[in-house]
Amino acid sequence: MPPNPIEKSALPTDRVAELTEAVESVLQCLTPFLRASEDDYSSLTTERHLSSGCYSTGDVLESYLSHPDQLREHLSLNLPSNGRGLEDIASSTSTLLQHSVNTSSPGFMDKLWASPSIPGIAADLVLSALNGNDHVFRVSPALTLIEKHVGEELAHLFGLSDLNSGGVNVPGGAAANSTALLIARNVRFPDLKEVGLRGISSPRLVIFASEAAHFSVFNAAQVLGLGSHSVKKISTTTDGSMDPRALKQALDATIAAGEVPLFICGTAGTTVRGAYDPLRSIGQLAHQYNAWFHVDACWGGAAAFSRKLKYKLDGCEYADSIAYNPHKLLGVPQICSFLLGKDLRAFWYANTLTAGYLFHQDSRIPPSGLSFSHTTAVPEGKLVNTPAGKLSSFGVHYDWRTSKAIQNAADPRAVYDLASFTPQCGRRPDAVKLYFHWRCYGREGIAKQVEGAYDGAQYLARLIEKEPTLHLVGDVNVPCTQVCFYYVGASLKLTSSIQDIAAQNTHFTRLISAGLLKRGWMVDYAPGSGRQEELGDFLRIVCNRMTTPCVAEGLVQAISEVIKSDIETTPPEIEG
């Protein structure tokens, strides 16, 4: 009777046995991989160098980076017609690990994340085996409640403690920043959801962020149709944080030009130098100029867990939204990213829409919420054909935070279909990873790990300051866990141009980074701001919760060795 009789063999196999076998295969491969990074700690303690380092095949990595085809030959990329069975898991895992960067090595100081947390890995395994998706409550009751609870607790930790404060998972920091801008745009100008930005003769909507802000903030403006020209980059002071006086000037210029300050992004922990913008001043300006105040705390937000470090986030309670990534300093495995909000009604209002097959009408939610468009009178008014002379409705004095749009939105505490809060549909409940992590270590334990990373950076900065041929970028009291420096051991002619100095700095920086790579350390570099003290690329070391004094000492010794063997034995190629 079935058109194609289904064979008996299609019946499910013993999945428990299969899962156990598969997981054991993976664990067997992971054991030597993780053991290697533990051995690194031992050899750093006893001999001040890494025994294995970031890459199992040592200095081959640099060659692979330049010639990916060489690496490709070593991988088993073939996707076969006939399956190789579960036995393949061991060999695929082994090959993959052999040619992967070991982020658990103490030598991995290249990016804003490092070794993954054990409870986080356990939670990831649970999530995979559950295969849950908390876009609607119906299919993920416990997962949804965990995400809502963790989001709320995180929001409170950052000082967002209103009745409707909370947070939701997003697929990364870039998504957090762009979703925040989307919410700001749609709440302020709801008609845009329907009519779009084309042909609208409204004043320009302006976005403010420091020149050191993450590129995703600038990119969000182009993605959302506002255009990158609508972003005003605010200059930073020498410590790399936003200059609030420059922001004030830019805001005044915006108003004077008849434009609308839509969105101000403060950064708590910039990507390169870890600078904390003065959030209190910026937040007060945002409220004064009626702009949405977003804080990109993806990196530096970890300070929220520590009573000792929390002062760095002073003023973040002014924020309308905060991006925070537990997958960075905390070590929760990627991806674990949150967008927190002071008033989740705005999130809901900006993102909710009708999809009868997914979101079933729910007596807990006011029915008005089920319409895609919001044509109910919104005080901000229509944007189309607004005469240039009648811009009062766009004026800075109208408080959108108390607008009817938000007042009439659903009670976010009663919204359990979390896909209503962001543009995503399917969502992996990544909050569960932070939930496991937090329960295992507690806030105090997390604080201790975070403080360890900050202390490690302070210690490393002092070690580098003592080296005569190294020059720190910025103060020795580094604001976060990055330590940035130049090699300054080579002399330059007095007549050297700024370009020559920058070229030489960049040259040495890259030599040191490459030399460290050969010795198992990964340390990235970044372009200087172009100011007098920041010409050309400098090295950027990122300390993490595993950066003990031994690690710092071993790294400084490795830098010295690189300088001796790769720089001071050969004359610099580029001279002034």
Residues within window 268-287 making contact with a second copy, judged by CB under 8 A? 271-272
* Helix H or strand E segment including 26: helix 15-47
Asked if 163 is part of the footprint of a second copy (rule: CB under 8 A), the reply reads: no
Q: How far is the CB of 281 from a second copy (least distance, A)?
A: 25
540: buried, middle or exposed (CB in 10 Å: 19+, 13-18, 0-12)?
Answer: buried
Residues between 308 and 337 with contacts to a second copy, criterion CB under 8 A: 325, 327, 333-335, 337
Q: How far is the CB of 471 from a second copy (least distance, A)?
A: 19
Nearest to 227 by CA among 258, 253, 259: 259
Asked if 418 is part of the footprint of a second copy (rule: CB under 8 A), the reply reads: no
- Judged by beta carbon, residue 281 or residue 481, the one nearer a second copy is 481
Q: Give the CA dihedral 307, 309, 310, 313, nearest 10 degrees.
A: 180
User: Which of 313, 522, 555, 556 touches a second copy (CB under 8 A)?
Assistant: 522
Nearest to 542 by CA among 169, 271, 305, 350: 271
Vertex 95: Cα angle to 94 and 96 (nearest 5):
90
- Judged by beta carbon, residue 283 or residue 430, the one nearer a second copy is 430
Residues between 421 and 440 with contacts to a second copy, criterion CB under 8 A: 423-428, 432, 435-436, 438-440
Asked if 303 is part of the footprint of a second copy (rule: CB under 8 A), the reply reads: no
- Judged by beta carbon, residue 27 or residue 574, the one nearer a second copy is 27
User: Which of 163, 355, 498, 574 touches a second copy (CB under 8 A)?
Assistant: 355
Residues between 235 and 264 with contacts to a second copy, criterion CB under 8 A: none
The SS3 of residue 452 is helix
- Judged by beta carbon, residue 125 or residue 498, the one nearer a second copy is 125
* Cα 476 to Cα 101, 221, 432, distances in angstroms: 30, 35, 37
- Judged by beta carbon, residue 198 or residue 493, the one nearer a second copy is 198
Q: Give CA–CA dist 349/405, Å, rounded.
A: 7
- Judged by beta carbon, residue 82 or residue 570, the one nearer a second copy is 82
Q: Give CA–CA dist 30/158, Å, rounded.
A: 36
Q: How far is the CB of 493 from a second copy (least distance, A)?
A: 26
Asked if 378 is part of the footprint of a second copy (rule: CB under 8 A), the reply reads: no
Q: How far is the CB of 217 from a second copy (least distance, A)?
A: 11
User: Which of 43, 52, 104, 505 touches a second copy (CB under 8 A)?
Assistant: 104
Asked if 52 is part of the footprint of a second copy (rule: CB under 8 A), the reply reads: no
User: Which of 47, 129, 371, 560 touches a second copy (CB under 8 A)?
Assistant: 129
302: buried, middle or exposed (CB in 10 Å: 19+, 13-18, 0-12)?
Answer: buried
Select the span of 133-141, 234-242, 555-563, 565-573 touching a second copy (CB under 8 A): 133-141
Site residue total, a second copy (CB under 8 A): 182
Encode 57-89: b = buried (16+ Cβ within 10 Å), e = exposed.
eeeebeebeeeeeeeeeeeeeeeeeeeeeeeeb
In this structure, the number of other CB atoms found within 10 A of the CB of residue 157 comes to 19
User: Which of 58, 59, 71, 501 touches a second copy (CB under 8 A)?
Assistant: 71
Q: Give CA–CA dist 37/29, Å, rounded.
A: 14
- Judged by beta carbon, residue 452 or residue 489, the one nearer a second copy is 452
* Cα 367 to Cα 333, 346, 363, 417, 437, distances in angstroms: 39, 17, 8, 14, 38
Asked if 202 is part of the footprint of a second copy (rule: CB under 8 A), the reply reads: yes
Q: Give CA–CA dist 261/94, Å, rounded.
A: 53
Q: Give CA–CA dist 434/446, Å, rounded.
A: 11
Asked if 353 is part of the footprint of a second copy (rule: CB under 8 A), the reply reads: yes
Q: How far is the CB of 426 from a second copy (least distance, A)?
A: 5
Asked if 492 is part of the footprint of a second copy (rule: CB under 8 A), the reply reads: no
Let me know: does 458 contact 431? Beta carbons within 8 Å: no
Residues between 441 and 480 with contacts to a second copy, criterion CB under 8 A: 441-445, 448, 451-452, 455-456, 458-459, 462
User: Which of 48, 51, 58, 122 touches a second copy (CB under 8 A)?
Assistant: 122
- Look at strands 292-296 and 260-267 and give their pairing: parallel
- Judged by beta carbon, residue 70 or residue 288, the one nearer a second copy is 70
Residues between 73 and 102 with contacts to a second copy, criterion CB under 8 A: 75-86, 88-89, 92-93, 95-97, 99-101
User: Which of 51, 58, 59, 133 touches a second copy (CB under 8 A)?
Assistant: 133
The SS3 of residue 338 is strand
The residue ranges of DSSP E strands in 309-449, in sequence order, are 321-324, 337-341
The SS3 of residue 103 is coil
- Judged by beta carbon, residue 281 or residue 547, the one nearer a second copy is 547
Asked if 386 is part of the footprint of a second copy (rule: CB under 8 A), the reply reads: no
Residues between 526 and 545 with contacts to a second copy, criterion CB under 8 A: 526-527, 537, 540
- Judged by beta carbon, residue 185 or residue 281, the one nearer a second copy is 185
Residue with tokens 């762009």: 178
Asked if 574 is part of the footprint of a second copy (rule: CB under 8 A), the reply reads: no
Q: Give CA–CA dist 486/471, Å, rounded.
A: 5
- Judged by beta carbon, residue 45 or residue 249, the one nearer a second copy is 45
Q: Structure tokens of 242? A: 């936003």
Asked if 374 is part of the footprint of a second copy (rule: CB under 8 A), the reply reads: no
Bridge partners for 341 per DSSP = 166, 321
Asked if 230 is part of the footprint of a second copy (rule: CB under 8 A), the reply reads: yes
User: Which of 51, 162, 171, 280 touches a second copy (CB under 8 A)?
Assistant: 171
